[in-house]
Amino acid sequence: MMEQRRFGDTDLVSSALGFGTWEMSTTEYGHIDVDEASAAVGAAIDNGITLFDTAEIYGPYHSEEILGRALGPRRKEVVLVTKVGFKVDGTHARDSTREWVLARTEGCLQRLNTDWIDLLLIHWPDHDTPFAETMGALEELKTAGKIRHFGVSNFTVEMMKECERHGHLAANQVGYHLFDRRMEAQVLPFCLEQGIGFMAYGTLGFGLLTGAFTPDTTFGEGDWRSAGNAFNLPLFEQEHFLKELRCTERLKTLASRAGRSVAQLAIAWVLGHPALSVALVGIRNRSELEENVAAVDWKLTDEERTEIDRIFAEEGVPTYVDAPQAV
């Protein structure tokens, strides 16, 4: 059985590895074989993955619809996470008003073909709506039995403190991986201290840590990485991209000494943080699934962690620990 982890001080428990479905949006991650990805959902459950993460804006709607169909009668076997808080009119404007959160959650329930959501997150902070209003809406949904738990995504410590004045957050979901360690400065310690679960997205560096990219890799028009920017970091700009690839090659060699892949090393590194509840990975097919699942039982040694940091230093690749969080 895969390792199970608790979300902070709540009663929400899931597999340490979670199935992220941004790639199932079909509109933002280049080409994906929907049938193959759908089949991977059932296979993931068979292999011990019990958490599936999606969002209304992925597509929009496509990811939730595909996941809902793929889960089918197995929905009761999993922890289902989705997110609201964006306008879906193409503007990507944020809206976490009470009316919007309540209305959009109804749509999520329909698309996911479920009577309840295990964890509902506010996708990004809405700087124009008081957090008290948003938290009130989430409490209403919980009281009505439409959600079991609620949390946030991409919130800073100060934002979480304000939210916590109006209810307890089960989780904060933010990007965290070897090439982006911004969460280590404040957010991860705060979550650990306050009993708030932490969900890491981008565990594989949005592909950088899969070993699949080469210096000739390009990203098509329908792929968000083509802009070069990854949540305010220049990870996919050419100069940085080439340095990161050299770093990944050396990490690949380090992983191979343990009979592992670089993707498995990336997952093990993220899961090694004590605040981590779940590490999310995109899974497009059965081979990726098996590789990712096999990483969960790998506990990196202090020596391996030190060598990872040495590789970054020698290659001149920043880890952005002190860089401002994208909000």
For residue range 153-169, list pLDDT tens digits in order. Answer: 999 999 999 999 999 99
Report the distance separating Cα 64 and Cα 45, nearest Å: 17
pLDDT at 282: 94
What 3-state DSSP class applies to 116?
A: coil
Chain Cα centroid distance, residue 26: 17
Report the distance separating Cα 60 and Cα 71, nearest Å: 19
pTM comes to 0.98
Q: Which helix H or strand E contains 313, and what residues bound it? A: helix 302-315
Chain Cα centroid distance, residue 207: 13
pLDDT at 147: 99
* Contact status, residue 150 vs residue 196, Cβ threshold 8 Å: no
Look at residue 54 and tell me whether its pLDDT is greater than 80: yes
Domain extents in the chain: 4-315
Among residues of the chain, what percentage have pLDDT more than 70? 100
* CATH 3.20.20.100 at 4-315, yes or no: yes
pLDDT at 31: 80
- The tens digit of pLDDT for each residue in 233-285 reads 999 999 999 999 999 999 999 999 999 999 999 999 999 999 999 999 999 88
pLDDT at 24: 87
pLDDT (average), residues 88-106: 96
Among residues of the chain, what percentage have pLDDT more than 90? 94
pLDDT (average), residues 282-311: 96
Binned at pLDDT 50, 70 and 90, residue 195 comes out as: very high
pLDDT at 131: 98
Binned at pLDDT 50, 70 and 90, residue 71 comes out as: very high
- What's the token pair of residue 122? 């506010």
Torsion angle of the four alpha carbons 124, 126, 131, 137, in this order, in degrees rounded to the nearest 10: -80
**Own/partner pairs, 314-321, CB within 8 angstroms, 24+ separation:** 315/243, 315/246, 315/247, 315/250, 316/243, 317/179, 317/240, 317/243, 317/244, 317/247, 319/178, 319/179, 319/180, 319/181, 320/179, 320/180, 320/181, 320/182, 320/233, 321/181, 321/182, 321/184, 321/185
pLDDT at 154: 98
pLDDT at 199: 99
pLDDT at 30: 76
Mean pLDDT of the chain: 97
pLDDT (average), residues 77-97: 97
- What's the token pair of residue 113? 């073909």
pLDDT at 34: 86
Binned at pLDDT 50, 70 and 90, residue 28 comes out as: confident
Look at residue 47 and tell me whether its pLDDT is greater than 90: yes
pLDDT (average), residues 211-238: 96
pLDDT at 222: 87
Catalytic residue set: 58
pLDDT (average), residues 10-24: 96
Look at residue 191 and tell me whether its pLDDT is greater than 90: yes
Look at residue 321 and tell me whether its pLDDT is greater than 90: yes
Look at residue 14 and tell me whether its pLDDT is greater than 90: yes
